[in-house]
Structure formats: structure tokens, C-alpha cells
Amino acid sequence: MQSEDKNLTTTILLSSISFIIVSYLIFRTSLPKLPDIFLYNLIIIFSLHEFGYNRSLFFLGASIFLTILVSITTHFFYVWNVPVFFITFLIAENEIKKHNYHSHIMETRIEEIRENINILEDDHARHKKEAVSLEKKEGRYNSLKDVVSVLNSTLSMEDVARKIMDNAFNIVGKSDSGLLFLVDTVKQELHLALSRNKISPEKIKTKKGDILDDWVFKQRQAFLTEDIKKDFRFSEDKFNGYERLFRSVISCPLMEGHKVIGILRLENSKPYNYTSEDLRLLDIICDIGAVSLQNAALYKETLALAIRDGLTGLFLRRYFLDRLKEELSHCLRNNSSCSFLMIDVDNFKNYNDEYGHTAGDMVLKAISKVLLNFVDSGIACRYGGEEFSILLPDASKKEAIRIADNIRKAVKKEDIELRRVKTHITVSIGVAAFPEDAKIQDELIMKADERLYKAKREGKDRVVID
């Protein structure tokens, strides 16, 4: 700015001095006028070039007009009136230019302030959005505090699985459907434990999962795909025939140490639905859920040990009697029937005396294996020593007789090798039906037990029904 003002002042001085000199030459000397007028024109051209055509022309015309006006009114004509007025207008123009410059500076400052206001408003909106997002995250993570107590409130595998799914839907959200797979530890493969669909109650046909579940199972890593159609890891043709439509997926393994015990998967029909934050939340839920599943599994194993015989794997007598009581109550309420079998191994003492107690255990295991093949809907029990009992719900006496005879034949066909000697065993069976033979539990057991010993007295290896 200072450089421009200095240049302008210099130009004004040069123009003014030139005008005075030339004016003097034209009006006060007898020199030829044409060269002086030509020089006058050069000065005017110089002014036009320096100040701009319109501006210089205006100032020059104004100067001449004022000079003529003064000369007419005063009857005097002063040569220096032209440059004086010209200089006056140049000074005025310079002030105007300064004013315009300051106005421009103010406008620039105002524009900068407006830009800063816009930036601050954008920052405020962004920070407000971030605050809402953080508040939402805080709420989601606070809800994780209740997950542990909720999942630990039950020791049932089914209830734990359901609550894992509930928490995943409630905390992560954004999901149309969810799948929970558990791992069959014997076959080392996935099987569907629970599914949920908020849009339609469709049945899941892929009971063992698809390529996404296989990937999580083998890699033992959490999985996120924003759009399955654009994921280079999985070609689209591998999903042909897959009946459920989805675009975005998050999936996490439920880990027991370094072993996968399950997979939880959430889906949405829209792409770019899940974020890494959603995957992190799901991973935390799966970590907590895996511990709850382990506790439920241990409880189930403990419960099984408490109600099952360690040698044969059959139910113990106390649990069996409780179940028998429940079944008889059910039969009374629904006016239905059930049957009870009492089974005893023939000549069992001889096996122990001849081959030892280890041989006796082998005989009991062999019989237990046969019994389990005939109790799909019933309950088999080691009643005591070499005695067994079977409860057949909703079975008539005629059907119970048929099953008892099939058991007897199957046991007789079993080859048991005791000290490298193959032998066969037989059993005697007593059958009693409710309410045909007895109206109460103790009477039913007593009837079956009496008929068992009757079978032994009559020669063993037989079924007695009355």
C-alpha cells in the first residue's frame, strides 16, 4: 500500500509540473504553439495511461471547465488554473481511492469473519454430532455392565443362547436377522442353535452355516463385510442357492481359550450398515457369552454326573423315581397310560465269581448299551446292582411287552468276551402298566418287581406280564 501511494504521488507531481511548464509555453511565450500542444497531448496520454482513461479524462475535463468558469467570472485567465485544478482533483481522487481501499479492507475483514463464523458453526455441528455419538457409545457400553449379570442368571444352555442373541440385538442393533451356531465337539462342525429374523419368520435351511461361518470358524477371527457383493474374499457365485438375502454382516467367534465353541452372526439387507465399533461391541458380547456357555456346559455335565451312573451312563435310581412320579401325575391329568419294566441279569454272580468284578462291569456296560437303543422317548435307569428299570411314557401294556421281548432278544445276541472267552448273557423282565396294573407309584414298582422274580423262578430269560 505504501509503495502504491508513493508511486501515485510521484505521478501526480510529474503530471502537474509538466502541465505547468507546457501551459506556460503555450500561453506566455511566443514560441510555436503546435509543438507545445503536441507536448501537452503527450502529458495527457501519460496521465491517461497512469490513472486510467476514464478517470484522467474526467479530471482533465473538470480542470478545464473550472478554469474557463473562473476566467469568465473574473475576467482573468490564469494559465496555472488548469494544472491546479487538475492537481486538486487528483488529490481528491487519491482520497477516494484510499477510502475505497479501506472499504475493501473492511469488506475483506467482514468476509473473513463470516468465513470464520461458518467454520465455527461447522465445528460446532461436528462436535455436537460427536457428542451425541459419544453419548450413544457410552449408553451402549454401559449396557454391557448388565450383560454379565443377565447371562449369569441362568445355567440353561437354551436360555444362555437366547440371552446372548437378545443382548446382541439390543446393544448392537441395526440387524434384520441373527444366527447363533454352536460347535459339535465330537464332529467338530457347526450346528444352528438359535436364529432370529425381525422381517419375516423364515426357516433357516443352512443348519451348518455357509462359507462366511466356515471362514470365522477356521480363522478364529471376528468378521465384518460392508457389502458382501463387493468383498473380494468371497465370490458371489458361492452364495447361489442361499435362500436368505443380506448385504452387510458382522460375525464373531465364541472362544474357549484357543478353541471355537460357537459363532454369533448379525445381518442386514442394506450395505454399509455396520461399523468397526459395532463389531467391537459384538466381540465383547461374544466374550461374555462364551464364559456363560462354558458355565452352562459345566453345569450340565455336573448335573449329568449327579443323576447318571458313572459305569453304565444310565440314570440313577433317585432321579428315575422323580421322573416316574412326574410321568404318573401327567398320566392322571391327561387320562393316558405308561409302562414300567424291571430287568435283572441272569446268573450275574457267576460272572463275578468266575471272571472277577471287571468282567461283571463289562456285562453291565454291554446291557446298558442295548437298553439305550430301546429308549428313544423313555428313561433307562440302573436301579441297583445288576437290576435295571425302564419307563416308557405313553406306552400301552401291549407295546411294553413287545419292547421288553425285543430287549431280551437283543441282550441274548450280544457277544461278550471275558478273558478271551466269548459268552452270552440273558435277562429276565417283569412288565407292569399304569393304570391297568397299578394306580400309584409304589404299587407299579412292586408289580413289576414281583413279575421279574416270577420270571426267574420260571426259568429265567423270559418276560412275565402278570
Cell 481528491 identifies what position? 92
Residues 134 and 236 in one domain: no
Which pLDDT value is given to residue 377? 77
Q: Do 357 and 290 fall into the same domain?
A: no
Domain shared by 353 and 290, yes or no:
no
Is residue 197 located within the same domain as residue 238?
Answer: yes
Q: Which residues fall within 8 angstroms of residue 423, CB to CB, at 6 or more apart?
A: 415, 416, 417
- The confidence score (pLDDT) of residue 77 equals 46
- Note whether residue 327 is domain-resident: yes
> Which of these three, 126, 151, 176, is where a domain ends?
151
Which pLDDT belongs to residue 5?
Answer: 55
Do 234 and 357 fall into the same domain? no
Catalytic residue among 93, 267, 327, 386: 386
Give yes or no: residues 26 and 125 share one domain: yes
Instruction: Residue 347: give its domain's CATH number.
Output: 3.30.70.270
pLDDT at position 29: 54
The per-residue pLDDT for 78 is 47
Cβ atoms of residues 139 and 172 within 8 Å: no
* Domain membership flag for residue 386: yes
Residue 310 lies in a domain: no
205 shares its domain with 341: no
Give me the pLDDT at residue 189, please: 84
Asked about 386 being catalytic, the answer comes back as: yes
Determine the pLDDT at residue 241: 45
Secondary structure (DSSP) of 151-208: HTT---HHHHHHHHHHHIIIII---SEEEEEEEETTTTEEEEEEEEESS--PPP--TT
Q: Is residue 119 part of a domain?
A: yes
Query: Which residue, 92, 123, 151, sits at the end of a domain?
Result: 151
pTM: 0.56
Would you write out the chain's pLDDT as a tens digit for each of its 466 residues? 556 556 655 665 666 566 556 555 555 555 554 454 455 555 555 555 555 555 555 655 655 565 555 555 554 444 445 555 555 556 556 666 666 777 788 888 888 888 888 888 888 888 887 777 666 666 666 666 667 776 777 778 888 888 888 888 888 888 888 999 998 877 788 888 888 887 665 556 567 778 888 888 888 889 888 888 877 777 665 555 455 578 889 999 999 888 899 999 999 888 888 988 888 888 888 888 888 888 888 888 888 788 888 889 899 999 999 999 999 999 999 999 999 999 999 988 888 778 777 888 888 999 999 998 888 778 999 998 899 999 999 999 999 999 999 999 999 998 887 777 788 889 999 999 999 999 899 999 999 999 999 999 999 999 999 8
Asked whether residue 309 is assigned to any structural domain, the reply reads no
Q: Exposed, middle or buried by CB within 10 Å (0-12, 13-18, 19+), for 128?
A: exposed
- Residues 64 and 170 occupy one common structural domain: no
Note whether 2 and 144 are same-domain residues.
Answer: yes
324 part of a folded domain: yes
Q: Both 26 and 141 in a single domain? A: yes
C-alpha to C-alpha distance for 112 and 109, rounded to whole angstroms: 5
Q: Does residue 174 share a domain with residue 140?
A: no
Q: What CATH number corresponds to the domain at position 257?
A: 3.30.450.40
Residue 291 neighbours by CB distance under 10 Å: 17
Q: Of 304, 54, 264, which Cα lies nearest the Cα of 165? A: 264
Q: Is residue 210 part of a domain?
A: yes
3, 71: one domain:
yes
Into how many domains does the chain fold?
Answer: 3
Q: Give residue 180's domain range.
A: 157-303
Is 312 among the domain residues? no
Final residue belonging to a domain, choices 268, 303, 338: 303
